[in-house]
Structure 1
Amino acid sequence: MEFKELIHEHYNQLSVSQKKVALYVMDHPKIVAMSPAQVVGETMGVSETTVIRFCHSLGFSGYAKLQKAIREQLLFHESSLTTYQQAKVELEQAPHFFEQVMTQDLEKIMETMKQINEADYEAAIQQLAKAETIYVLGLRSSHIAANWLSYAIGLVRDDVQLIRPETEDVIQTLRQMNRNSVVIVISFHRYLKQTIQITQLAHEQEAFIIGITDSLLAPISQYSHLLFPIHSPNQSTLDATASLFSFMNAIVAGLSVNDKDRFEERQNQYRAIASDFLFVEGVDEQ
């Protein structure tokens, strides 16, 4: 199992001090790989025993095994795109290639389902349902997902806005946020500084932040009131796509049934607008 996934799996069971070690290890793998446990502990202000207990919590027999895993999995990790392509090459010789890829997508969705806390999901739906305004943020590789989610939520309720730093005054958008606003932030490795900065500013405006990312250790975690991890092996955003869209669909579905009357009213308003000039009906079969 990838070292990052291992920490992710055990993170909620770690003590406060051990979580501090986990964050330090992820942020400074080279230092950990080359330094004794005592030095690492002193740097963070925790005991050497805490560092060793952290290793045991992840299933390592000792600190040396932790260092070995870091060297192999973090220091020499190839780019996520290269890893994605190599993983697919391994399936190339197998029969029914597309079925193999889609089966892997199903497995990733199942893994994501295991990682989602149902109470957190219900809390997110409640926050979104009562929000005066919903903002959705996702840049670069996360932009398409953010665009779809803002559109889909917009079919369910009013006052949904996709944040577009490239075409709008973000400061003006942030100024309009308050404790009645909810911001959904989508952020995957490699984590964009601009996404993190906007999330921090939205948090300072007292907006409620819902983070969707690939790790409980992702940078937006420190500003998120609720954080939902999407299973993403090998830090591949492409491999996380199926799980991401499946979870976003669950959010839209939850909102649509949370307030059925408002959803029905929204759909009636939508249907009442003349739109024949936009659509072509399918041709009837003869």
Structure 2
Amino acid sequence: MELSVVIPTLNGRDHLAAGLDTLAALVPDAEIVVVNGPSTDGTTGMVRDRDDVDVLVEVSTRTENVARNAGLEAATGDVVAFLRYDLVVESSWLDGLRDGLADAPVVTGPTHRTLGGGMTTEESERRTVGSREVTYFNGGNVAFRRRVVDALDGFDEYLETGGDRDAAHRLAALDYDVAWRPGMGVRREYSADGGVATDDRGAEFRALAYRLVKNYGVRPAVATGTTRRAVRDAVSAGRDVLRGDLDPTEWFATGRAVVGGVARGAADGLIARVKDRSPARNPHGVSDRSDRAVARYDWR
């Protein structure tokens, strides 16, 4: 197995350095591809001063899927892993990856989060959507056999969030299995609150509607699932209003953003479905353009 590890990063110099140190110690034979940008914290200089990074790709678009695809273009291994810059692989990571690839062409594992009160982790997530059995994976800790990620044409660059979940639907459509290996663990350390979630509900629901319509078309099940989630979130926010934890005007503004996001995402998903009728369903993938990188440093 020739392993390439692609690490997208943006203004994460110190976390990235810790992750690279661990990879150098535990996965010394892997090809390391860092996709940076556009960072302003000295990441470029730090990476160029190291001798354990094989390729540094500088991109100008602050979108994770663009960075993933730029790294995929630079990687040469027959297995390509994607890691978040702020995650550190654990000692069993490589063995878990190898074991999973013996059973499936895609393998993922848990993220262990260190909180003030201890450690949390996650389990494998699987769901039936239409006639497909979809196994979701962590886009910051996943490895693909090269032929499989090429069949997907990489990640969908329309999506600013949820690119890994979109890829999971497309893997299911192509009948590729995803293996889960607890040994393929990564670790992230947080402050006591456990991290910060995004507040852009409009963007979140636009991505949800887009990927469902693109992958499944306009079906009652798609509309029902999206509506159910929107209603659930609205009810939860309504309780916050009644408790005084959320201003009513903010609740209404969020509702408008969700409705607008769903409408736009569904329309764009339908256009994308028409543009790419193949099982890959990826009109905004690697093959869509070749101008992602603004600079490239190759020390191989």
- TM value normalised by structure 1: 0.25
- Higher Rg of the two aligned structures: 1
- TM value normalised by structure 2: 0.24
In terms of fraction of residues, the more strand-rich structure is: 2
